[in-house]
Amino acid sequence: MSEFALDPNRTAVVVVDMQNGFAHPEGSLYAPGSGAAIEGGAELLGRAREAGAEVIYTRDVHPPEQFEDAHYYDEFDRWGEHVLEGSWEAEIVEQLTLEEEDRIVTKHTYDAFHQTGLDGYLGAHGIDDLLFCGTLANVCVLHTAGSAGLRDYRPVLIEDAIGYIEEDDREYALDHAGWLFGEVTDLNGLAFDAA
């Protein structure tokens, strides 16, 4: 892998949906591949914080009535009820430490830019480059990173810190991201270098 040297003053780590419902063995939508992404995510966060980069957590949260009037988009129909508002499932896994200065973006769809303040926050803080970790590779990571690319951010997916249900799903998502709108590296290929 080629080295990605990013300016920490213009970079944020986006931790996508590393919540109990997805990454804890007792979660209703737990996948072992999501649990396995915790270690890589923790390493990425430690390195980013040490360098001075921003940390942003996304939380997928659903009010129980969210899809009652849905015309077509109904995640409960597809996945069953999950990460309900105020539930243990909606909390970030305890292995990933939330610091006081971290930003939390609550989202209600696969895309963390959809009807949230994420874009405004990044622009106000001069952030251009986004390092993605979290879960699931081919769902919320892919849709949020793609949305970032369409907004002219530089999305970099950290492959050994991204969860999945099936290995093929992760490989597809990483290939698609690298081909269409972003870049892919691993933790060894990443460095922070202030300009």
List CB contacts of 25: < 8 A, sequence separation 6 or more.
35
How far is it, in rounded angstroms, from Cα 62 to Cα 85?
5
Q: Torsions phi, psi of 29, nearest 5?
A: -120, 30
Domains held by the chain: number:
1
44 contacts 161 by C-beta, under 8 angstroms? yes
Q: What is the C-alpha separation between 121 and 105, in angstroms, rounded?
A: 10
Task: Return the closest-CA partner of residue 135 out of 14, 26, 47.
Answer: 14
CATH of the domain at 161: 3.40.50.850
Per-residue pLDDT of the chain (195 residues; tens, 9 = 90+): 447 789 999 999 999 999 999 999 999 999 999 999 999 999 999 999 999 999 999 999 987 787 888 788 788 877 877 898 999 999 999 999 999 999 999 999 999 999 999 999 999 999 999 999 999 999 999 999 999 999 999 999 999 999 999 999 999 999 999 999 999 999 999 999 876
Rg (CA), the chain: 16
Q: Where in the sequence is the domain holding 176, given as residue range(s)?
A: 4-192
pTM assigned to the model:
0.93
